[in-house]
Amino acid sequence: MNKETEKMSFFDRYLSIWVAICIVVGIAIGKLLPIVPETLGQLEYANVSIPIAVLIWIMIFPMMLKIDFKSVVDAVKMPKGLTITLVVNWLIKPFTMFGIAWLFFMVIYSLWIPEDLAKEYLAGAVLLGAAPCTAIVFVWSHLTKGNPAYTLVQVAINDLIIIVAFIPIVTLLLGVSGIVIPWNTLIMSVLLFVVIPLVLAYITRNWVIRKKGIAYFTDVFIKKFSATTISGLLLTLVIIFTFQGDVILQNPLYILLIAVPLIIQTFFIFFVAYRWAKAWKLPHDIAAPASLIGASNFFELSVAVAIVLFGLQSGATLVTVVGVLVEVPVMLALVKIANKTKHQFPSKQ
């Protein structure tokens, strides 16, 4: 066993096994104890699950604690990582998602999926592709030891661009008019997943440093949260699959068919950004988050818009839900790839 493996926590070392267990446990709870997802489902506002919001706080709080706000200014002065993120997220990802989804749903799957349903599936995929990740990218960044200040800047800029770019892109690709962003979902998500935990972390960081000093904060306090992110991530998986247990068991073939193009798209987008970052010789702590933010999706927004446009029982909504289901396992695989290839990148710019 090498030194790097020895430093890994119990959860980190066997993460793939824990993910699989959590998925099975979540599906079992949803099937055998339906009162659990029914109760949790009532704890929701503007299509945002409050229990999941709390778990996301638990996941991203350690990352937020590491943000030195003086370094945010320096992050803005390094435009290459931001350029990769923005070009991949907004000029490449929505269109490759449309192309890959169209190929699978309209051509490859034409013998199994009726054309009308295939068009709904295509619409759901486009909604996912037009909404890059915001909050949970802090988790992926944390797991790859990404630059927290730079990640914050990337998330903030993506939130601003979603406001002006989401509707035109979806309208262009789907030809659907009258799309309205559910502002309550968007604003609630940004407040819950970014603003509130960021403010709490800022207050906590300053208070601990003022009372105990920077050395205590760095060497002792931060380390108390070493298992927090992974624990929150595993509990989030259980809840997500608890909600969707019936959907998976009732539509196993369609779930599998839908997952294939979504997974292909996710890996493709990651490697486009990752290879670009490598060509530009970006340090790994910027390259990894810049690549992962485009690969992940803002699924709260995608699900909410799908429900408003096409209905709760539509194929479009099902695709956005499958996007939620494949999100964590696929992103964890990409995190593992990023960590294993860290040596290919410079440590500093």
The pLDDT of residue 8: 46
The pLDDT of residue 2: 42
* 17-344 belongs to CATH 1.20.1530.20: yes
Residue 6's pLDDT band (cuts 50, 70, 90): very low
Domain boundaries, the chain: 17-344
The tokens describing 265, both together, are: 């798209």
Beta-carbon contacts of residue 111 (< 8 Å; ≥ 6 apart): none
Sole residue written with tokens 């919001």: 53
Sole residue written with tokens 């190929």: 103
The pLDDT of residue 287: 93
Report how far residue 272's alpha carbon sits from residue 278's, in angstroms, rounded to the nearest whole number: 10
Average pLDDT over residues 17-34: 86
Query: Higher-confidence residue: 62 or 278?
Result: 278
* Integer angstrom CA distances of residue 14 from 19, 63, 309, 327: 9, 22, 41, 19
The pLDDT of residue 315: 85
Backbone angles phi, psi at 3, to 5 degrees: -65, -35
Report how far residue 65's alpha carbon sits from residue 53's, in angstroms, rounded to the nearest whole number: 18
Residue 11's pLDDT band (cuts 50, 70, 90): low
